[in-house]
Amino acid sequence: METNIMDMFEEEKVLKICAPMVRYSKLPFRCLVRRYDCDICFTPMIVAADFMRSNKARDSEFTTNDSDRPLIVQFASSDAQTLADAACVVAPFSDGVDLNCGCPQRWAMAEGYGACLINKPDLVRDMVRLVRNQVAKPNYSTSIKIRIHKDLRRTVDLCQQAEAAGASWITVHGRTADERHQPVNYNAIQTIKDSVSVPVIANGDVRNLRDVEAMHRLTGVDGVMAARGLLANPAMFAGYEGTPLQCVWDWVDIATEQGTPFTCFHHHLMYMLERVSSQPERKVFNSLYGTAAVIDYLHETYGPVQDCGMST
């Protein structure tokens, strides 16, 4: 079922969005967070050139199903036509594409992807425009996800150029490409929000529903995106302070039903259980190998849902 993302912004509520996360925001995890009030999900970042070059890459990097909507596919690209071609491939199975202009990792920057694009506003403009012109779905969204400059005037210029080229909405991570754990710059996000007419999504340090509300109050944004906060608590957007046991067992059901590789299955549970388990318990759990061993451990340690002693 297709969704017009722009209609969702008209509903006068703060949209709650699952961030693109390499290795983690894949189909099974998206299915989980959708059960707990997540409005929109992103795929992990996909390198558009690899995606177009290889059937194997397409099959491994992009999987979805009928209930996986609304869905935004995020690409890394440094070439407008390659991005547009990739967008045309995924358009029948998604509701929008997003250009990653925020990844600060060295390999991405070296390839001309990610955060280095915030210094190439003309290229970003051309990529947004070409996608808009070549995807034959009028309600299909084209967005960008950025980090900020130290000189915020450059960020405002980038966003205004992207808007003029047809960007549907913009996600702003409120840190520069060099910053990792510094406080999020709420004033910068608010300035960008006030400088464009398209919806703006805020990203950075969102760990619970109170953070969502605070981000909206401080910046006036139209939506809030979370990454690590959702990894630790996939039920965060539904107002849970910690991962409820129901959510843990939901993950077990989804992951086993979809044949999720053990490493991915296990790592997600490590994140979910970190806040509710002691260091000795984490050491035991992290050393487990095999889905059956993990399920046995969960039964023995936490019990079924009705015996829940975990946070709500």
283's CB contacts (< 8 A; 6+ apart) are none
Query: How far apart are alpha carbons 310 and 54 in whole angstroms?
Result: 44
Given the residues 31, 101, 103, 247, select the one marked as catalytic. Answer: 103
Which residue bears the tokens 């086993």? 256
Residue among 46, 72, 41, 42 nearest 59 (CA): 46
Q: Are 73 and 123 in contact (CB under 8 A)?
A: no
C-alpha torsion angle, residues 261, 264, 268, 273 (rounded to 10): 70
Q: CA 115, 118, 122, 128 torsion: positive or negative? A: positive
Token pair of 30 as six digits: 């998206």
Which residue bears the tokens 């000189």? 151
DSSP 8-state symbol, 305: G
Which residue bears the tokens 């999900």? 41
245's CB contacts (< 8 A; 6+ apart) are 302, 303, 305, 307, 308, 309, 310
Token pair of 226 as six digits: 């979370």
Query: How far apart are alpha carbons 39 and 308 in whole angstroms?
Result: 26
Asked if 103 is an active-site residue, the reply is yes
H or E stretch at 192: helix 186-195
Residues marked active site are found at 103
